[in-house]
Amino acid sequence: MTDLSLKAEMNFANVLQIFFKYLLTFLGFSFLIFLFVTRPIWGLALLALLAAGFFLLFSRIAFFIFLVTVSLYTPFRISHLFALHPFDIMMALVFLGMALDFLLRGHTEIRPALFDGLFIILITATFISALFAYNRDYSIVPLFRTTVIYFAFRAAFKFGFEIGVRKIIVFYLYLVFFHSLINIILFFITAGQIRIFGLPGLGYEPFAMTALPMAAAFMIWAKSGWEQFRYGIISLIIGLGVLATQSRAPLLAVIIAIPVLIIFTGMKAHREKTKQPLRTMKKVFIPVFLVGALFIFFSGTLFAGALGRYEHFIESFTKPQGTVALRLILWKTAIRTFLDHPFTGIGIGNFRLVHQLYPDIRTNPLWYQIKGMSAHNVILHYLAETGLIGSLALLALAIKGIKISYHDFKKKLSLQQNQVSAALFIAMFVYCLTILYMRAWMWGQDSYIMALIFGLNAAWFYQTRRQIEAE
């Protein structure tokens, strides 16, 4: 078959596929209207079925809806071990849609991604740890979650190629901006009396602490004044959203990440003799100054609670107390668990039962807070649950992630492309930093954000390499 006839055949297959998509959509909605008029309950059931079918056929739309659902914490608890979330359902639809698209388009190969091998090793390590788990029932859900993280990574990688990494990042920034705006409004309505996490729940923390420095990266490498202003506003609103949570962990991540971004941007600009980012870089301090000024101005009213928590945190450096003391106990317990089970750990998902393995920790005044918790350090958590095998795989994933993202950031590209490279580099930096003190990243909403960061980094690596080779 000639190239021309092959191309014609592919075009015909695409047209046929689109025709059937719209035909099924038309027939489905016609029948749906009929059911709503006659039997509303059946109509609702069919609506859900049609929505699922629609997302299967239009997997790109499903991917963006999936990102939206990740920002909503609405669990449906099925048992004491398992809760189903809308983002899990959407991830299943996205993955099935990817498989359907693969079959309909007649692909002959699956494009490999940079982190495939390390993800597979990590999944294998969790399976091995589950075999030696203290309680295997508690390993079922984490096993499932780790595998789903890989599916989400592949989805981000695929759509980063097809839709564009930049478009997905911009969508992500506006999504976090929207939730931050809601959180600020709620914070003012409650007069700062309660900590506000909003619709994302605790998932707002990884959203905000990655999106804020990413928005700052877009601001620094912006090519116009309007673009600088737009991403400056996004940075400002997300920064205020972080203050509304009164959480110290994401604030610490941002405080470290912004200077790192500025330093590495300055190094890149001097190396490439580019003046634009050097001029724009100074404007990053405008939203930082505004956030600081608002915090100081309202320190006695709206931000009184946040100020107290931050002062408490600083005092804990000399005299550990509160959550700082709790973290120290969790970390020491995780190290103790690892030393007793160095190779396979106590089993993925079993750290919540560590108080059963070591009853003596109940004598600690904070023991009741340890029950059912993570180690609040992802590396130590995996050392305790999966031993050396799983923790080394996780550590290797982080090291390779920051190495690849920095390699892409050093490439000489256009301003718009530098925005993407800088944003992905600083997001990966935040991930690598916070696995040392955050509670999650490998489960819940955090895991999908992690998968997005790794997937987009992998897609961007291949896209920029292809462009450089073409030149």
How does the average pLDDT of the chain come out, rounded?
83
| Residues 25/51, Cβ–Cβ less than 8 Å | no
Helix axes 165-189, 415-434, angle to 10 degrees: 60
Residue-wise DSSP of 381-402: HHHHHHHHHHHHHHHHHHHHHH
Measure the CA–CA gap between 325 and 116, rounded to whole angstroms: 37
Average pLDDT over residues 6-28: 51
The pLDDT tens digits for 230-282 are: 999 999 999 999 989 988 889 999 999 999 999 999 999 888 888 777 778 77
User: So what's the pLDDT on residue 26?
Assistant: 55
Q: Which residue has the tokens 């007793």?
A: 340
Bridge partners of 76? 84
Higher pLDDT: 111 or 413? It is 413
Measure the CA–CA gap between 235 and 216, rounded to whole angstroms: 6
Burial class (CB in 10 A: 0-12, 13-18, 19+), 97: buried
User: So what's the pLDDT on residue 327?
Assistant: 79
Q: Which DSSP state fits 442?
A: S
Q: What percent of the chain has pLDDT over 70?
A: 80
The pLDDT tens digits for 59-102 are: 899 999 999 999 999 888 776 667 788 899 999 999 998 888 87
User: What token pair was written down for 344?
Assistant: 């396979």
83 φ/ψ angles, rounded to the nearest 5 degrees: -130, 135
Bridge partners of 83? 77
Measure the CA–CA gap between 102 and 111, rounded to whole angstroms: 11
The pLDDT tens digits for 415-441 are: 899 999 999 999 999 999 999 988 889
| Residues 213/257, Cβ–Cβ less than 8 Å | yes
Average pLDDT over residues 218-240: 93
pLDDT-based confidence at residue 413 (cuts at 50, 70, 90):
confident
* Poorest-pLDDT segment among 117-121, 140-144, 371-375, 406-410: 371-375
DSSP helix/strand/coil, 305: helix
User: So what's the pLDDT on residue 10?
Assistant: 41
The pLDDT of residue 8 is above 50: no
